[in-house]
């Protein structure tokens, strides 16, 4: 577990040094979380930011046998035939975009190590860029990205990890760069088809404000989903169209205690964010409303997933916005340092729990060893 703990300490520390250096040379203006393009005079990237994102990429890329998906994708990569692209595309069980990625990377290098370098870059860099450009407190945002396991989850969900990160970044680009949003969203959907459903839900809900009525409606929908799973046979057909493998998941055993603890934690964090928002101006509240709604929808999917695993695959597309929501709330609070410490402490406890009980993450090892 030690390498993971060192990573969680080093990356924010490096970014923190960069922030301290930056403040010595420039006055930073507040950025709109809906607008990823910094205002004139806003801070730019430093070598410390580059070092931080490089550390996250390398830690993920050089892992060997780490995560439940590692061996699966190493085998898939080994079976890809680059001599007949047409046949591979026609017969591959994965989505078109991911199949093309396999073919392109294997044409360059037949060993799976390069493949995991590419998937690590596609997973880490978009998420880091979104946090760095949008977050009111990017150091805290990256710390939460690591501690709340949004960084670790793709070790077990390689394809979906890429799709989640791409869609996360695309969403922050929507207002200023709609064409870029469309392009990145299409790429995400071509990597993992669950992104299509996530996009549809985002489009429907992005203007919802987190009032008692909408909160109640979303949670009631989650409860209704639990009750209706055994009563609507069409659900199995719908899930099978998304991915034939998911249909069998509907009959799987219920979720473990970790899922329930995560649901409670994320609901508690939403309440915490709402309390911090008491002192925010109306403009900030309006900017953070959609993030709050997204996280709540993610929790609703987690609730339904306690009885139907496929719905849990949709949750990360929404819960990842916690890494933008919480720093935005903290930045507007009266004592941000105290809240930084509180979130870091709670996040560290969750991080340790996740490492200890979530599939195949420890002991960490690399292909060098």
pLDDT of residue 40: 36
Q: 345: which residues sit within 8 A by CB, 6+ positions away? A: none
Contact 60/123 with Cβ under 8 angstroms? yes
The answer to whether 145 and 323 have CB atoms below 8 angstroms apart is yes
Instruction: Give the span between the Cα atoms of 165 and 169, in whole angstroms.
Output: 6
Secondary structure of the chain as H, E, C letters:
CHHHHHHHHHHHHHHHHHHHHHHCCCCCCCCCCCCCCCCCCCCCCCHHHHHHHHHHHHHHHCECCCCCCHHHHHHHHHHCCCCCHHHHHHHCCCCHHHHHHHHHHHHHCCCHHHHHHHHHHHHHHHHHHHHHHHCCCHHHHHHHHHHCCCCCHHHCCHHHHHHHHHHHHHHHCCCCCHHHHHHHHHHHHHHCCHHHHHHHHHHHHCCCCCCHHHHHHHHHHHHHHHHHCCCCCHHHHHHHHHCHHHHHHHHCCCCCHHHHHHHHHHHHHHHHHHHHHHHCCHHHHHHHHHHHHHHHHHHHHHHHHCCCHHHHHCCHHHHCCHHHHHHHHHHCCCCHHHHHHHHHHHHHHHHHHHHHHCCCCCCCCECCC
Evaluate the CA torsion angle 108, 111, 115, 116 in order and state its sign.
negative
Residues paired with 358 in a beta bridge: none
| pLDDT the model gives residue 174 | 82
pLDDT of residue 284: 57
| pLDDT value of position 142 | 96
pLDDT beneath 50, residues of the chain: 27-42, 249, 251
User: For residue 324, what pLDDT is reported?
Assistant: 94
- Give tens-digit pLDDT for 24-51: 665 444 444 444 334 333 457 888 999 9
| pLDDT at residue 118 in the model | 96
**pTM, full prediction:** 0.88
Nearest 10 degrees: Cα torsion 145, 147, 148, 154: 70
The pLDDT assigned to 277 comes to: 65
Tokens representing 288 are: 């953070």
Is residue 181 within 8 A of residue 174, CB to CB? The reply is: yes
- Specify the pLDDT at position 31: 47
* Span 186-212, pLDDT tens digits: 999 999 999 999 999 999 888 888 777
What pLDDT is recorded for position 238?
57
């Amino acid at each position: 577990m030690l390498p993971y703990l060192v990573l969680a300490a080093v990356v924010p520390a490096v970014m923190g040094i960069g922030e301290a250096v930056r403040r010595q040379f420039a006055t930073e203006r507040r950025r709109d979380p809906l607008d990823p393009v910094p205002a004139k005079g806003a801070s730019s990237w430093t070598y410390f930011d580059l070092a931080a994102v490089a550390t996250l990429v390398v830690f993920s890329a050089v892992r060997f046998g780490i995560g439940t998906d590692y061996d699966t994708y190493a085998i898939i990569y080994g079976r890809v035939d680059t001599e007949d692209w047409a046949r591979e595309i026609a017969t591959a069980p994965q989505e078109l975009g991911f199949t093309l990625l396999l073919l392109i990377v294997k044409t360059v290098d037949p060993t799976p190590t390069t493949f995991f370098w590419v998937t690590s870059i596609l997973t880490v860099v978009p998420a880091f860029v979104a946090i760095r450009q949008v977050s009111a407190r990017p150091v805290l945002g990256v710390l939460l990205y690591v501690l709340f396991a949004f960084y670790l989850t793709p070790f077990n969900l390689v394809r979906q990890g890429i799709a989640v990160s791409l869609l996360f970044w695309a969403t922050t680009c929507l207002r200023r760069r709609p064409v870029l949003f469309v392009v990145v969203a299409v790429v995400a959907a071509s990597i993992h088809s669950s992104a299509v459903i996530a996009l549809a839900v985002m489009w429907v809900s992005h203007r919802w404000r987190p009032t008692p009525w909408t909160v109640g409606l979303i949670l009631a929908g989650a409860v209704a989903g639990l009750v209706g799973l055994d009563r609507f046979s069409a659900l199995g057909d719908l899930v099978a169209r998304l991915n034939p493998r998911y249909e069998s998941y509907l009959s799987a055993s219920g979720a473990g205690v970790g899922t329930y603890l995560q649901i409670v934690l994320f609901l508690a964090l939403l309440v915490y964010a709402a309390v911090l928002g008491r002192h925010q101006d109306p403009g900030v509240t309006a900017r953070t409303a959609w993030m709050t709604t997204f996280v709540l929808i993610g929790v609703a999917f987690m609730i339904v997933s306690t009885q139907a695993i496929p719905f849990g695959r949709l949750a990360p597309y929404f819960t990842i916005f916690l890494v933008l929501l919480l720093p935005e709330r903290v930045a507007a609070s009266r004592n941000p340092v105290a809240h930084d410490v509180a979130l870091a402490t709670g996040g560290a406890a969750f991080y340790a729990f996740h490492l200890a009980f979530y599939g195949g993450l420890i002991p960490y090892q690399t292909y060098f060893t």
